[in-house]
């Protein structure tokens, strides 16, 4: 963004240098791109719900932030970037997602850094994938809003998922038909959204208690799902 305003900034791999500008920075009209971390829940929902096809407009696709998309594509998800463009120095695109058959994968190393906040919803996708999915090197999940390894495992097990915790991640075998059950958000917005997505592909009714925390990062999450056709009600 600063470069778009005239700042002399250069990037060399992971090194960024800047100099004092010779002229004042100029203003610009900027549309803030959609957050790919929030879009990830809609992407997974479409990828695992039969007959689904959605387009999410204006999402930031910085390569350092789209690990969840790269991983889903590796699993076989039908995801395409359309109308790619630049917004204030950041790459932006409309994201098209269609339902597809997924395969299990192993995720670890530097890839984890690009998708740490999306791992709970990746776990949901993995329950519907053929074969084994292994997530490792994700120690940071232990110190998020909750211990996301423990809570992701415990809540998905309530729906019948075959998921085992490890010290730095989890192992999931699929595909598994999920069955609706009462679940908890544990005060964690991303876990609550992940369990809501899991409920979309579960037979029967799934209740996510404490789901109001989804507004911490995605105000209108439930309304957006309803607009896409999800059979979802917000309990008073």
User: Which are the catalytic amino acids?
Assistant: 117
Distance separating alpha carbons of residues 177 and 25, to the nearest angstrom: 56
CB-based contact 77:100 (threshold 8 Å): yes
- State the pairing for strand pair 178-179/202-203: parallel
- Beta bridge mates, 90: 87
Neighbours of 55 (CB within 10 A): 12
Phi, psi of 116 (to 5 degrees): -60, -40
Token digits for 66?
Answer: 């789209």
Token digits for 146?
Answer: 């909750």
Q: Which of 55, 52, 4, 58 is nearest to 36 (CA)?
A: 58
Concatenate the DSSP letters of all residues of 17-36 into one string. Answer: EE---SSPPPP---PPPBPH
């Amino acid at each position: 963004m600063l470069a778009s305003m005239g700042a002399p900034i250069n990037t060399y791999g992971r090194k960024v240098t800047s100099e004092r500008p010779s002229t004042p920075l100029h203003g610009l009209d900027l549309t803030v791109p959609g957050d790919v971390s929030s879009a990830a829940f809609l992407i997974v929902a479409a990828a695992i719900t039969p007959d689904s096809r959605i387009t999410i407009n204006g999402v930031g696709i910085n390569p350092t932030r789209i690990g969840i998309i790269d991983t889903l594509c590796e699993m076989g998800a039908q995801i395409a970037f359309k109308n790619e463009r630049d917004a204030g120095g950041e790459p932006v695109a409309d994201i098209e997602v269609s339902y597809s058959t997924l395969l299990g994968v192993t995720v670890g190393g530097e890839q984890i850094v690009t998708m740490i906040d999306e791992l709970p919803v990746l776990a949901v996708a993995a329950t519907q994938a053929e074969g084994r999915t292994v997530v490792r090197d994700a120690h940071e999940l232990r110190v998020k809003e909750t211990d996301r390894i423990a809570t992701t495992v415990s809540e998905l097990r309530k729906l019948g998922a075959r998921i085992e915790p490890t010290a730095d991640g989890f192992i999931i075998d699929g595909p598994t038909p999920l069955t609706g059950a009462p679940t908890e958000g544990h005060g964690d917005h991303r876990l609550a959204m992940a369990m809501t997505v899991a409920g979309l592909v579960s037979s029967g009714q799934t209740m996510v208690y404490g789901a109001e925390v989804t507004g911490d990062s995605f105000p209108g999450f439930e309304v957006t799902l309803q607009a896409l056709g999800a059979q979802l009600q917000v309990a008073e």
